[in-house]
């Protein structure tokens, strides 16, 4: 399952490529079409953004934290569903973008702290603890391990993508990056409101 988020009134600066007939198109025509669509989406970032369920959940969590932190009176019911909910106006989206941008600045500063477990210095991956973990060694995580992780880390806590307890490394299931959050913020500033499908 994934999340397709469409701008209601996106700023469009280039003409969208004409659709092709998938039944009759060659593989080469399909490839060229998807390259053209991808380029068009990059040029018109408020038109559409997509996430798988693992990618949307931390972006959504940050949006909800931003909304609560700045007392934005937005109805976020069912934003974790595919039923067309979202924000209606560009003004609302601008307010959410600004609120999220402030939190991203805090996250970027924290990511430079030495307490993160990182594979490399430029790693901008992070999680909010959403109580979903796996063991890096591939073994099944036990109920006792889940309990230890839940007790040690508060739900929603900002943290690195890996933690080590008793020499076992645990990976968070829902990760995102500063880059992905910033892409959503750009989408918000260009979309004219959005619907989540």
Domain boundaries, the chain: 1-197
Kindly state the average pLDDT of the residues 125-147.
Answer: 89
CA–CA dist 156, 129 (Å, integer): 5
What percentage of the chain exceeds 90 in pLDDT?
68
Q: Cα dihedral sign for 108, 112, 113, 115?
A: positive
Asked if 64 contacts 137 with a C-beta cutoff of 8 angstroms, the reply is: no
CA–CA dist 189, 73 (Å, integer): 18
Kindly state the average pLDDT of the residues 170-175.
Answer: 86
The pLDDT of residue 59 is: 96
Lowest mean pLDDT, pick from 54-58, 62-66, 98-102, 125-129: 125-129
pLDDT tens, 80-127?
999 999 999 999 999 999 999 999 999 888 877 776 666 666 678 888
- Backbone torsions φ then ψ of 16, nearest 5 degrees: -70, 135
CA–CA dist 97, 79 (Å, integer): 16
Residue 39 has pLDDT above 90, yes or no: yes
**E strand or H helix at 57:** helix 53-69
The pLDDT of residue 119 is: 64
* pLDDT mean across residues, the chain: 91
Task: Give the side-chain half-sphere CA count within 13 A for 169.
Answer: 10
Count of beta carbons in the 10 Å neighbourhood of residue 188? 29
- Backbone torsions φ then ψ of 120, nearest 5 degrees: -150, 165
Written as one string, the DSSP assignment of 131-147 is S-EEETTSPPPPHHHHH
DSSP class of residue 45 equals T
Category of 117 on φ-ψ map: left (φ > 0), alpha (ψ -120 to 50) or beta:
beta
Q: Which residues pair with 4 in a beta bridge?
A: 50
The pLDDT of residue 159 is: 81
Of the candidates 143, 144, 145, 103, the residue with the CA atom closest to the CA atom of residue 126:
103
Kindly state the average pLDDT of the residues 50-67.
Answer: 94
């Amino acid at each position: 399952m994934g999340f397709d988020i469409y701008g209601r009134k996106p700023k469009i600066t280039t003409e969208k490529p004409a659709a092709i007939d998938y039944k009759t198109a060659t593989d080469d025509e399909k490839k060229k079409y998807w390259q053209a669509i991808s380029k068009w989406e990059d040029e018109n970032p408020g038109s559409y953004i997509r996430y798988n369920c693992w990618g949307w959940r931390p972006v959504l969590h940050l949006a909800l934290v931003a909304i609560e932190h700045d007392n934005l009176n937005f109805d976020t019911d069912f934003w974790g569903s595919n039923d067309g909910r979202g924000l209606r106006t560009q003004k609302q989206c601008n307010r959410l973008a600004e609120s999220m941008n402030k939190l991203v600045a805090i996250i970027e500063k924290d990511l430079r702290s030495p307490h993160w477990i990182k594979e490399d210095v430029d790693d901008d991956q992070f999680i909010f603890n959403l109580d979903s973990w796996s063991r890096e060694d591939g073994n099944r995580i036990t109920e006792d391990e889940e309990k230890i992780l839940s007790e040690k880390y508060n739900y929603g806590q900002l943290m690195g993508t890996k933690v080590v307890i008793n020499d076992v490394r645990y990976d968070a299931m829902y990760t995102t990056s500063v880059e992905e959050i910033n892409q959503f913020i750009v989408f918000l500033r260009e979309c004219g409101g959005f619907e989540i499908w």
